[in-house]
A and B are shown apart, each in its own frame.
Chain A
Amino acid sequence: MSFPILSLLILTPIIGALTLSLSSSTQLKNKTIFQSGLWITTGEFLLSLLLPIFYDKSKNGYQFIEFHTWFDKFDINYYVGVDGVSIPLILLTTFLVPICLLCSINSIQNRAKEFVIYFLLLESFIIGVFVSIDIVIFYVFFEAVLIPMFLIIGIWGGENRLYATFKFFLYTLAGSVLMLLAIIYIISKVKSGNIELISDFTFDQQIELVLFLCFFASFAVKVPMFPFHTWLPDAHVQAPTSGSVILAGVLLKLGAYGFIRLSLPFFEYASIYFQPMIFALSCVAIVYTSIVALRQLDMKKMIAYSSVAHMGFVTIGIFTLTQDGINGAYFQMISHGIVSAALFLIVGVVYERHHTRMISDYSGVTNVMPKYSFFFMVFMLSSVGLPGTSGFVGEFLVIMSTISVSVYLTFFTAIGVILGASYMLLLYKNINFGDLKSDIKQLADLTNIEIFYFSCLAFLTMLLGIYPKLLFEMINKSISLSII
């Protein structure tokens, strides 16, 4: 197909942001700005729907390829394309960004124009990461994502936002620069940044181990894996609701995507060599962060820790290096992207009405907000992995694939499921049931807009839970290629 759909996907939000920034801010009302932002991102979503429609599932390799030379001398090219692994994540991104804008129409009052602009830029950078098949532009987009996110947390965050946003930026940057060195080394050896060419290249074994660790440093911070996860609770708690949604929904997936797209095909020997280490770290992440989540007093923090635990499933699944394991991990990524985004929105709804995130401040919400409790239940159950919801499929596949590796691993992963159920149910019980507190009484139930986006998310969760083949059809072939 000669139509440059991927470049268009990257450029549409940027162009939208530029037009918005050139319009004079004094004349525009906040609502108009958000509306135009919504138009742009919805258009982007519709545009991205063309990808799965025109994608040919029977073919190997990348499609919709575009190639332009960027630096002749260094063989760095603007080289983009998608395969089954990237399309669902692109759709997830374009789906979540309009929701982020929708949920912040009321909560973001000051500097709305900047807010929309940063979100548009963020969207195009994230899509850039998913479509790039040249290692340098992958890095460029991967790193560029930091700038708008830094500003979003820093400007519209909570009271301790500066600490959180600095920690977020510096942690991720410190991981990434090591990857940069590894990338430079790889390019100097392979003489090309093309991902496919690098996958075919075999490195010296000792060097491969070092290179793997450099990539690991970057992705492990992003995922985040234990012990590099400490930036995540801070960032989540301080970020505005929309920031948390995009952070949990998509940004965490960048790390896991990096593992699947780069680490596994590049470093086959090292992936097997470091398998035990990653399993150990992920097990600790699952069990430890689940226990930590049990003791949290802050709703957002609890969900942030649960994210770390859920991403532990993802890393375990990826590094079983089996088709089932990676399929399950990938499914878990998408499912977690939807569910945790929804849970942060759920927290955002009551925070916007009651201005506190402490669990102890809520009790008996279900009496005044029945619709809210219903949606909360759907996402809570999906998060604990109830069959019929998307959370189940991923966890089930991952646990199943661990049996072939080690029974102990299965044991710890399964413990994680139980712990996950306990803290999520506890959270649900404490907020929704019990005596109705007097100051809760005046809380209003969900508005139509909120019902709209929650139903979209709930529908997706159910759909993927009941008919997971939809996703597997898309990814199977591409993933089977990346294992070998």
Chain B
Amino acid sequence: MINLFQFIPEIFILSLILITLCFGLFYKDRAISLNTLGFILLSILLLNYGKDFYSSTQISLNTINLFVLSKIILSIGSIVFILLLKRPLKNENLYRYEYVLFLLFAILGSFVLISSNNFLTAFIGLELQSLSLYLMAAFNTKNLSSNEAGIKYFSLGALSSGFLLFGISMIYYDTESFNIQNLDNFTAISEIGLSLVLISLFFKVSAAPFHIWTPDVYEGSPTISTLFFATLPKFASLIFLFRVYQELNISDIKSLNYIFQMVCAISLLVGVYGAITQKVIKRLLAFSSINHIGFMLLGIMSYQFMSEGTLFFYLIIYLITTFGIFAVLLNLRTVDGEFTKISQLKGLRFTSNSKSISMLVFFFSLAGIPPFAGFFAKFFILSASINDGFILLSIIAVLSSVIAAFYYLTIIKNMFFNKSEIELLDDNNKTGKVIFISSGIIITLFFIYPDPLINLVDNLFK
């Protein structure tokens, strides 16, 4: 008898999808408020009863905490995202309630992915998530580059799914099991299979050298979709990658460990070198996210030192910062349409105080300069990795963050030191404004008073 109790979060989202489907036929504009309400309910549910859902299962306490925390983060992130999405879509004449549905499917996929103990379930979750993402990339059907982004993402994504399936089948051939835990007797075949699985996951989180799709897809898709790619699904895939690393003890398998370290180092370097010459801000953010993935992989590899806390601290700060940056970008428009180039940011300091100062906070935080929370995020990751003996990787990481500081400074330079050339229109989107200002404040406050965040992470891992 399957205990349905543990599936309550997934069932909740599924019913939300069904309701939205029926409801949306008649009240198209209400889909947003309905889903906001739904996700608020889900967050409250998870915050209060999250651990009870899994109490009847045999999953270890630590893993349960991982599930609950990441699901809480996903649902809170979805609330912010849903609140943000209406205005930008309406500006592009794209608003249809189906967009919310894609979001819901992607989140459902992410939930399934995070808590799956079985490679096949994970595959289904990942596919559900990815297919919605392809649609979101190509959502602006009248725009060529959006279509291109969708097709590129789809074809490359399909390839990586092929790798994943192939890897899973090799593991099944070897161990006769799909379970993620049950892989004690390793042979060469399952090692190869596992490396294929890892490659596919690296693709999903856009770690270099599997990152080629990222800049193009980021640039081509509507900005609101880019925000989604950059945050929630990536977060979910990263958590799953972390689980695979943890459950299968990849740190003990020499060859795979080697792959992991190489990917981490390459991501750190490719991210910064790619970003230096970029002129389009979304491409720059794509490369900078690759660099940050490198840091997160470092956090995954050294999780043993300070438990999952360091990784989550980094992820949460990164998510907040990314949401903030995109909220600012979504609030800006040029006369001829979407705002794209870094040089168009020139003189933002003179037109908008709140935007330029929030951007200053976000980019200094991403560069890891105190007094912003990004500093401690990097500090903890580096502490963990130095304690676990990854000295060389840590040196690469800090040097890469110096180079990263260069292009973050370039953006700040454009906003603060240059006179404006193009008139930027303020979208005057109140929710967007609230979101970026509050993320800026949170980023600064977490530096001065990090206890709430640390306690939240800690309590869930005790």
Please give the residue numbers on chain A whose beta carbons come within 8 Å of chain B beta carbons, in ascending order. 70-74, 136, 139-141, 143-144, 146-147, 150-151, 154-155, 161-162, 166, 169-170, 173-174, 177-178, 180-181, 184-185, 187-188
Q: Is B458 positioned at the interface, with any CB of A under 8 Å from its CB?
A: yes
Which of B129-137, B328-336, B398-406 contacts its partner? B398-406
Known: A162-B417, A173-B402. A181 touches B380 (CB 8 A): no
6 tightest A-B contacts by CB? A177-B398, A140-B370, A154-B417, A174-B402, A144-B370, A188-B387
Q: Give Cα A187–Cα B387 distance, bound, in whole angstroms.
A: 10
Q: Give Cα A70–Cα B409 distance, bound, in whole angstroms.
A: 29
Q: Give Cα A180–Cα B450 distance, bound, in whole angstroms.
A: 20
A-B contact pairs, 13 of them (CB 8 A): A143-B375, A154-B417, A161-B417, A162-B413, A166-B413, A169-B405, A170-B409, A173-B369, A173-B402, A177-B401, A178-B398, A180-B382, A187-B383
The residues of B that contact A173 with a CB separation of less than 8 Å are 369, 402, 405
Partner of B383 from A72, A166, A169, A184 at Cβ < 8 Å: A184
Partner of B395 from A144, A170, A181 at Cβ < 8 Å: A181
Q: Give Cα A136–Cα B380 distance, bound, in whole angstroms.
A: 12
Q: Give Cα A151–Cα B376 distance, bound, in whole angstroms.
A: 23
Please tell me if the beta carbons of B406 and A144 are within 8 angstroms of each other in the complex: no
Chain B residues numbered 373-397 whose CB sits less than 8 Å from any CB in chain A: 375-376, 379-380, 382-383, 386-387, 394-395
The residues of B that contact A178 with a CB separation of less than 8 Å are 398
CB nearest neighbor in A for B394: A181
Which of A147, A161, A177 is packed against the most chain B CB atoms within 10 Å? A177
The residues of B that contact A73 with a CB separation of less than 8 Å are 306, 309, 454, 458
A-B contact count (CB 8 A): 74
Q: Is B416 positioned at the interface, with any CB of A under 8 Å from its CB?
A: yes
The residues of A that contact B387 with a CB separation of less than 8 Å are 188
Please tell me if the beta carbons of B402 and A184 are within 8 angstroms of each other in the complex: no
Please tell me if the beta carbons of B398 and A180 are within 8 angstroms of each other in the complex: yes
Which of A140, A143, A181 is packed against the most chain B CB atoms within 10 Å? A181
Please tell me if the beta carbons of B369 and A154 are within 8 angstroms of each other in the complex: no
Please tell me if the beta carbons of A184 and B454 are within 8 angstroms of each other in the complex: no
The residues of A that contact B383 with a CB separation of less than 8 Å are 74, 184, 187-188
Q: Give Cα A147–Cα B398 distance, bound, in whole angstroms.
A: 18
Q: Give Cα A173–Cα B401 distance, bound, in whole angstroms.
A: 9
Partner of B413 from A136, A139, A154, A177 at Cβ < 8 Å: A154
Known: A155-B416, A162-B413, A166-B406. A181 touches B370 (CB 8 A): no
The residues of B that contact A180 with a CB separation of less than 8 Å are 379, 382, 398
Nearest CB of chain B from residue A125's CB, rounded to whole Å: 8
Chain B residues numbered 299-318 whose CB sits less than 8 Å from any CB in chain A: 306, 309
The residues of A that contact B398 with a CB separation of less than 8 Å are 177-178, 180-181
Q: Is B274 positioned at the interface, with any CB of A under 8 Å from its CB?
A: no
- B 405-423 to A, binary, CB cutoff 8 A, 1 in contact else 0: 1100100010011000000
The residues of A that contact B38 with a CB separation of less than 8 Å are none
Please tell me if the beta carbons of B409 and A71 are within 8 angstroms of each other in the complex: no
Please tell me if the beta carbons of A177 and B399 are within 8 angstroms of each other in the complex: yes
Known: A178-B398, A181-B394, A187-B383. A170 touches B405 (CB 8 A): yes
Q: Is B209 positioned at the interface, with any CB of A under 8 Å from its CB?
A: no
Q: Is B81 positioned at the interface, with any CB of A under 8 Å from its CB?
A: no
Which of A169, A178, A187 is packed against the most chain B CB atoms within 10 Å? A169
The residues of B that contact A162 with a CB separation of less than 8 Å are 413, 417
Please tell me if the beta carbons of B370 and A143 are within 8 angstroms of each other in the complex: yes
Please tell me if the beta carbons of B416 and A151 are within 8 angstroms of each other in the complex: yes
Partner of A155 from B371, B386, B394, B417 at Cβ < 8 Å: B417
Known: A140-B371, A177-B401. A74 touches B380 (CB 8 A): yes
Q: Give Cα A335–Cα B406 distance, bound, in whole angstroms.
A: 35
Nearest CB of chain A from residue B445's CB, rounded to whole Å: 13
Please tell me if the beta carbons of A147 and B409 are within 8 angstroms of each other in the complex: no
Nearest CB of chain B from residue A120's CB, rounded to whole Å: 14
Q: Is B163 positioned at the interface, with any CB of A under 8 Å from its CB?
A: no
Q: Is B364 positioned at the interface, with any CB of A under 8 Å from its CB?
A: yes
Known: A144-B370, A155-B417. A184 touches B409 (CB 8 A): no
The residues of B that contact A72 with a CB separation of less than 8 Å are 454
- B 361-372 to A, binary, CB cutoff 8 A, 1 in contact else 0: 000100001110
